[in-house]
Structure 1
Amino acid sequence: MPSPQLVLLLPKDSYRNEDFLTAASRLGVDVIQAKNQCHQLADYWGLEQMLALPFDDPQRAARMVREQLGDALPVAVLGVDDQGAEVAAAINQILGLSANTPEAVAQLRDKYRFRKLQMECRLPAPQVVPFAGDEDVSAMKLPFGFPCVVKPSRLSGSRGVIRVDMSDQFVDAVDCVKTILRHEASVAESSSVLVEQYLPGSEHALEGLMVGGRLRVLALFDKPDPMEGPYFEETIYVCPSGLRAEVQSSFEQQVETVCRHAGVLEGPVHAEARIDGATVTLLEVAPRSIGGLCARMLRHTLGMTLEEVILHHAIGQSIDPAPASTGATGVMMLPVEAGGVFDRVTGLDAARAVPGVESIEITARKGDRVQPLPEASTYLGFIFASANTPDEVTATLRQADATLGVVINPLLGVDTTVVS
């Protein structure tokens, strides 16, 4: 029997490419790689044969796949991260493959449309105000007071998300978000600036898989560090979650409700929520899996990689993940704390020797230009740890991080800045 054939959309700068390709190889899935880079350079760079697609133009990308594959249709087209979700939906639709529609995916990817979905479903949601680029921000009248949050409608990973505590900060925050959007060609035309109420409470995340319109929860994460602004830097994820059962249930039900209402009935979803007492308010539900290398922390929880779970589902195979071990697991994302040119991370041997640390992956490359939030789009690396309890995992991650130093050179000059 021939291996199932799958088109994987692999952005050239995605953390996830290698892990998805490894999972496909392990499962015996025949992969057609589709990338947003010039196919004529594939041989020169030593890359596998691939399709070169414009990820910023989903409809054109879909037509190109149709022309290049002809009648040799794959079983599915899958985006490995946020950038490829809408492209995959468009290609699947044009090829006549069973998948979420582009409209369904777009409703979740756009944060303003997502807020409207929450309201239509009568779920808790902050008040939100969108405004056009030519609107006089200084004269804007908000229906709610400070603090509030200014954010773009189409970026991920906390990029451009800024807490504003007083009117004097408001115009600067909006200008900052507009500047970020002007430099982000892939969403510049489709994204707007939103202002919404600030939500108090702790932040949590959910990893799941929609199967036939029902949510299958794969993991619930706690974020031990307070996410209070002015920027909302992702740092530590740990699981299992310590949330009360009824709060977990509310979180899960809300995610399934908005997915079904949007029409996202199949595939991976990653959700973020603020929880204040017993009140769960979704921040976003993305039609993709968790970003960065964070999925690697779930190997123990699932008994296989998250990518294997997603690929099993994509090719129509049922799967029943079985935990490989008990206990807790977690990841720390190493943020960029100063802008400049990345040089190196010091103290790695000492950090890797901390009991409970499983691995440390430095993903930034020497010479990379890096920026802190709110402009940042990448992390410097990831620390993975496991222990008996989530609190022990958190302590392990913090201890390992405390041994590290980051050397970032300024863009001009020769002196270095060391950020611990």
Structure 2
Amino acid sequence: MPNLAMVMPYKAYIRKAQAEGFRISAIWDPAEAERLFGAQAARYLQDVEALADGFRLVDFTDRAAYAEAIRAAVRETGADYVWHVGSEESMMLAYEVADELGKAVNSPRSVALLNDKLAMRTLLRDKGISSVRFATAERWPDVAALLADFTLPVVVKPATLSASRGTYLLTDPADLPAWGEMLAAHHYDGPLLVEEYLRGPEFSVETLTVRGEHHVIGVTRKLLGPLPHFVERGHLFGAPDTAETRQVAALAVELLDAVGYQCGPAHTEIILTADGPRIVESQARLGGDKIPDIIQIAQGFDIKRAMFAALAGRAPRLCPAESVGHIAYLSFPSGILRSVSGLDEACGLDFVDTLNFPFSVGDVLPETVSSKTRHGFVILTGSDDAAQALARADRVRELITVEVAAGTPAGEVVAR
């Protein structure tokens, strides 16, 4: 039975890996668990420890301790591989140590080229792939001097943050200080990207790579919320097979070839502009936002388990989508939650698979400025097409009513 030292394995990942014949030694950071799971973090880590074949905690921001935790896990378990498909912020060091030990699933260079937005843009420019005009700045005040070379609006974004944090549509240079405050709230100061604003429908391509061969699992249609923040309000999986979606998928595969990606999942975001598809960004992991769940609803394909089969060298067995899987995010006015109604009625609809509203009366509904500050979601099942899925999501939203009051109580922690 192969041994796998895995950084940030979610509970589902451990179960799927074990089902594919792997023993899992889990490495987690309590602070990262708290960021993801809030008050449930300690319980979540207890569950991970109970499931895993080995378990250790370490501060990912302490590079020396983090690297040693990986080395110790490999020594103690004889791990065949070290793998990290969680948050990008802690991914690079894991791949560097894995490479040092001869246990890497992918080269550190290939992962850096996918996860780092500046590195990816530079590679694409140098190879003449998916031409997008961009410039770089070390700090946000430096951006103003770059704007003369662009037509406003432009997209400004951090090079290494995930989950849409800090990505902003800049229409007026006077808004730069406000964007700088947003970056500071995420404890980020550079490097930064300025990019031309790409217009058109947005997609993501979900892939699994097995021994250097890239398998397109499917194309997800992304539905954006209000600008200037680029926060998705939903995803539809099961996009029709058209010339346009084939173009989009082919571009994602071209990127993966260009970076030398060898194994595992990737999630590549692409906008279909009037001049053809253009890459927005990519990550060396599964798509977030419950995309694996809507893939399984639409296609009956368990991509979480399949990524461990890919690690074992087994190619995915795919079948066409039989329905459209849809996740729709909830958005309400921000403020202190005074009342909520309609949740039970919405849950009772036969096309609702999962409804999540993680707030109680007295909690604060935050302003939605990233994927971490949305107000919940609904996953819909059994839709024949996108129009039906969207109409069903609207029906759920119509049923849920919230009452909020302005302000944030002193000491109040925003609910997660």
Q: Look up the SS of the partner of 2:329 in the other structure.
A: strand
CA deviation string 1:378-405 (max 9, x = no partner): 4333311121222211211221122223
TM-score, structure 1 normalization: 0.82
Superposed displacement of residue 271, structure 1: 0.9
CA distance in 2, matches of 1:372, 1:140: 30
Give the alignment of 1:149-188 within 5 angstroms.
149-165=155-171, 169-172=172-175, 174-185=176-187, 188=188
Given the alignment, which residue of 294, 318, 321 partners 2:317?
A: 321
Q: Look up the SS of the partner of 1:77 in the other structure.
A: strand
- Equivalent residue, structure 1, for 2:294: 297
Superposed displacement of residue 274, structure 1: 0.9
Q: Look up the SS of the partner of 1:272 in the other structure.
A: strand
Q: Look up the SS of the partner of 1:377 in the other structure.
A: helix
The structure-2 alpha-carbon separation of the partners of 1:52 and 1:328, relative to structure 1 and needing over 3 Å to count, comes to same
- Matched-pair contact (CA < 8 Å) for 1:17–1:80: no
Alignment of 1:275 with 2:277, yes or no, is: no
Superposed displacement of residue 309, structure 1: 1.0
Alignment of 1:233 with 2:231, yes or no, is: yes
The structure-2 alpha-carbon separation of the partners of 1:192 and 1:396, relative to structure 1 and needing over 3 Å to count, comes to same
Give the alignment of 1:10-409 within 5 angstroms.
10=8, 17-37=10-30, 46=46, 48=49, 50-56=55-61, 60-70=65-75, 72-83=77-88, 84-133=90-139, 135-165=141-171, 169-172=172-175, 174-185=176-187, 188=188, 191-223=190-222, 225=223, 229-242=227-240, 244-245=242-243, 247-277=244-274, 279-314=276-311, 316-323=312-319, 326-335=322-331, 337-339=332-334, 346-363=341-358, 371-374=366-369, 377-386=372-381, 387-406=383-402
- Matched-pair contact (CA < 8 Å) for 1:293–1:382: no
Of 195-204 and 73-82, deviating more is 73-82
The structure with the largest helix share of the pair is 2
CA distance in 1, matches of 2:86, 2:112: 14
CA distance in 1, matches of 2:184, 2:230: 21
Which one-letter code corresponds to 1:392 in the other structure? Answer: Q
Q: Look up the SS of the partner of 2:372 in the other structure.
A: coil
CA distance in 2, matches of 1:93, 1:368: 45
- Matched-pair contact (CA < 8 Å) for 2:25–2:77: no
CA distance in 1, matches of 2:334, 2:295: 31
The structure-2 alpha-carbon separation of the partners of 1:37 and 1:404, relative to structure 1 and needing over 3 Å to count, comes to same
Which one-letter code corresponds to 1:121 in the other structure? Answer: K
- Matched-pair contact (CA < 8 Å) for 1:355–1:396: no
Q: Look up the SS of the partner of 1:310 in the other structure.
A: helix
Please report the RMSD computed on the Cα atoms of aligned residues, expressed in angstroms. Answer: 3.3
- Matched-pair contact (CA < 8 Å) for 2:224–2:234: no
List runs of 5+ in structure 2 lacking aligned partners.
34-40, 412-416
Q: Look up the SS of the partner of 1:181 in the other structure.
A: helix
Q: Look up the SS of the partner of 1:269 in the other structure.
A: strand
Superposed displacement of residue 202, structure 1: 0.9
Superposed displacement of residue 318, structure 1: 0.8
Which one-letter code corresponds to 1:170 in the other structure? Answer: P
The structure-2 alpha-carbon separation of the partners of 1:244 and 1:408, relative to structure 1 and needing over 3 Å to count, comes to same
TM-score, structure 2 normalization: 0.83
Q: Quick one: percent identity of the two aligned structures?
A: 21
List runs of 5+ in structure 1 lacking aligned partners.
11-15, 415-420
- Equivalent residue, structure 1, for 2:37: none
The structure-2 alpha-carbon separation of the partners of 1:176 and 1:313, relative to structure 1 and needing over 3 Å to count, comes to farther
Q: Look up the SS of the partner of 1:85 in the other structure.
A: helix
